Chain A
């Protein structure tokens, strides 16, 4: 069993839709939770960064962490074609000694 599980999609939505991306994990030592966005043939770039449980909002993006359920989510409001990319969840223990990535969800936002 992988430490981080992520639905690979692909997920196709119309422009303006609300998108929900999710990951589950098994290691209770994870303290920091991240979402990376990766455009085709590019390296991943950090999108959101959350410590422990709770919500964090940044513009159209909201990250949620539920440590009791070992479940994290990324919501994208008013999705745009420019949001079309692969979204990778990642997590690490408090000492950042190793990052564990999900397999990525490919999102396509249709104009």
Chain B
């Protein structure tokens, strides 16, 4: 079974440029998460989707960040314009979202962003 797939793995851009990250979750997983992980820190939630609906985007900086999950499968996270402080790893995760196993998050390898 394929895991969570993210692209690109690495991205280097200049500040004020736009950037987009793509995530393909595990087949059948209705719940999809985007997390931000700074160096030496744990993942912090940006947005959580249940199917197509963003059910928790309270931590998403909406002035520059946007996300979508069309058809309840793949998702994209966009930053426009990027700032120096956005340099971090952007992790996508998915889960079955039901019962006790809803607690198991499956993470992708992350997209590492460097803003110069």
Contacts and interface: CB of A to CB of B under 8 A. Distances in A.
Interface string B25-48: 000000000000000111111001
Interface string B91-116: 10101010010111111111010000
A60 interface: no
A44 B41 CA distance: 12
Interface string B61-73: 0000000000000
A7 interface: no
Contacts of A8: 40
Contact of B42 (A43, A92, A101): A101
Contact of B103 (A4, A34, A41): A34
Contacts of A103: 40-42
A16 to B, nearest CB: 27
B103 A49 contact: yes
A102 B107 CA distance: 16
Contacts of A42: 109-110
Task: Give the dominant DSSP class at B's interface.
Answer: mixed
Contacts of B108: 43
B79 interface: no
B14 interface: no
B41 A104 contact: yes
B82 interface: no
Considering residues A44, A49, A92, which has the most beta carbons from chain B within 10 angstroms of its beta carbon? A44
A88 interface: yes
B56 interface: yes
B14 to A, nearest CB: 23
29 contacts: A8-B40, A32-B100, A32-B103, A36-B105, A41-B109, A41-B110, A42-B109, A43-B4, A43-B93, A43-B107, A43-B108, A43-B110, A44-B43, A44-B91, A45-B107, A46-B104, A46-B105, A49-B103, A88-B43, A90-B42, A96-B95, A96-B103, A97-B48, A97-B55, A98-B48, A98-B56, A101-B44, A103-B40, A103-B41
Given A46-B106, A96-B102, A104-B41, 7 more contacts: A44-B43, A44-B91, A51-B100, A96-B95, A96-B103, A99-B45, A103-B40
